[in-house]
Copies of this chain bind each other. A is one copy, B any other.
Amino acid sequence: MSMKYVLPIVVALAVLLSFVPVVLSKQTDIKVSEKMSPQTQSCIGCHNNYTPGIVKDWMKSRHANTTPADALKASALERRVSAATVKSGLSEYTVGCYECHSLNAEKHKDNFDHMGFKINVIVSPNDCSVCHPQEVKEYSDSKKAHAIANIMENPVYHTLVSTVTGLKKIQNAKVVAEKPTDNTLRETCLSCHGTKVEVNGTKTVSTKMGDINVPQLTNWPNQGVGRINPDGSIGACSPCHPRHAFSIEVARKPYTCAQCHLEPDVPAWNVYKESKHGNIYFSKEREWNFSAVPWTVGKDFTAPTCATCHNSLIVAPDGGIVAERNHDFGSRLWVRLFGLVYSHPQPKSGNTTTIKNKDGLPLPTTFTNEPAFDHLIGKAEQERRFKTFKEVCSSCHNTDWIDGHFAKLDTTIKETDAMTLAATLTLVDAWTKGVEKGLPTKDNPFDEPVEQMWIKQWLFYANSAKYASAMTGAPDYAAFHNGWWYLTSNLMQMRDMVDLKYKMLKVKE
């Protein structure tokens, strides 16, 4: 059946249904709140049949059961919206399909006419900021929001990305590398970092309702944290608050962070799982409350998840604030454990493309571990953040315990960075000898086997030991599981391979 006939019928039905909530309810097993907007009722009139999974998911959500007006009545600590007011026309309806997918239509190049409504395909942080401006502001200053530029517009990291993900072919018994395709970038690095979603005209797709015209989006679907949206905004809320429940519970559970922060390069999740905190989480979490705002230590939970330490609003049982909510996930962090190639103070700006080190490279440290201090936070700010962070620890641990823990982390950072330096010097040695044929050359520092061993030293092994040290009690990630065992054996193998390659130069042909 052609769209020509289907669309008017559907729209007519939708409009009709929007005036008969009781009938809708009966026909579709949907409980229609009187506070659901007529437009959203229309959306659901069809989508409950066509995409019932997301409709039901949303029906159980807070969005489906609260109006902004009601949300604004909560006390300061209990409020889940940060807007001072929400404009009339939105505030009196529950937060439904239409309320979110129709916002700021003028900015949305992905806006299109859908069954008589003007709909944006993608709901962006800028749209969410209508009710949650504080969260969006914080997030937009974070490294996460700039995750695409930070990796793709930094020539060094971009070379690493291209070297790893570009297709290789064999020509004359040599490996020849191509540039990575958009799809493979989207599958690998940009799946977490985010893609640039642009509108490239429209296209016709065949659906159960016949052919319909929709915007032609590039690099879609994608839920990366730094996604560039068709309205020009950056970032995405759905990686952590997955559609269409947009749940605080899911965001607070560690599975969410686990999608991107996992071994071998960022083994936060793996270390957490095997830590004492993880042990208690997995044993007891079903007795905890992951939806309470504020989140009360001892009452709602007795061991932290990622969100507890890094961004949630935490209060003591007496109501005193332990830590403020902050959607810049680096805001409580003084040191950036993640080695590039060494640990360093957190960058001043979430946009790290402007960093330049002494060697003129866009890296936070030099190859011999001199930090680019001008672009990194200073001692005082480090101290301030460290103090904030330790407030969370002190809900369960005394000062001496906490100090002892972080003294250990300091040693780990220093020593694993030194193990990276040893690997770097070994590589530089090979590069120096590399004027002769058969040894690695410096032009692309990421494409030869010895260089890839060097990458593993800082990206896999030093990081693993650092994360294990930061989250108490997952010792094997510091020892045999990608930790010190590999820091040592990988270095020995690098040395061995460089010696071997040097020896090979002596072989008379």
Contact = CB atoms under 8 A, between A and B. Distances in A.
Contacts of A181: 411, 415
Given A187-B475, A318-B28, A425-B170, A51 B396 contact: yes
A496 B449 contact: yes
Contacts of A166: 488
Given A181-B415, A408-B187, A475 B260 contact: yes
A210 to B, nearest CB: 11
Chain A interface residue number, banded: 35 or more
A121 to B, nearest CB: 8
Contact of A468 (B48, B187, B479): B187
Interface in A460-509: 460, 465, 468-469, 472-476, 478-481, 483-485, 488-489, 491-493, 495-496, 500, 503-504, 506-509
B485 A207 contact: no
Interface in A14-44: 28-29
A400 B220 contact: yes
A262 interface: yes
Given A191-B475, A408-B186, A412-B187, A54 B481 contact: no
A188 interface: yes
A297 interface: yes
A53 B302 contact: yes
B500 A283 contact: no
Contacts of A399: 205-207
Given A187-B468, A276-B223, A286 B283 contact: no
Given A187-B468, A491-B175, A298 B56 contact: yes
> Majority SS of interface residues in chain A?
helix
A159 interface: no
A447 B401 CA distance: 35
Contacts of A284: 249-250
A289 interface: no
Contacts of A183: 407-408, 411-412
Contacts of A298: 52-57
A60 to B, nearest CB: 8
Contacts of A326: none
Given A318-B29, A415-B181, A422-B175, A398 B51 contact: yes
A364 B107 CA distance: 51
Contacts of A495: 174-175
A168 interface: yes
22 contacts: A48-B318, A50-B394, A53-B297, A53-B303, A53-B396, A56-B317, A164-B484, A167-B419, A169-B422, A170-B422, A187-B478, A221-B404, A221-B405, A253-B283, A256-B283, A259-B276, A262-B274, A262-B476, A265-B476, A265-B480, A452-B488, A506-B509
The 4 closest A-B pairs by CB, nearest first: A56-B298, A191-B475, A53-B396, A183-B411
Given A49-B320, A170-B425, 5 more contacts: A28-B318, A57-B302, A188-B484, A220-B400, A223-B473
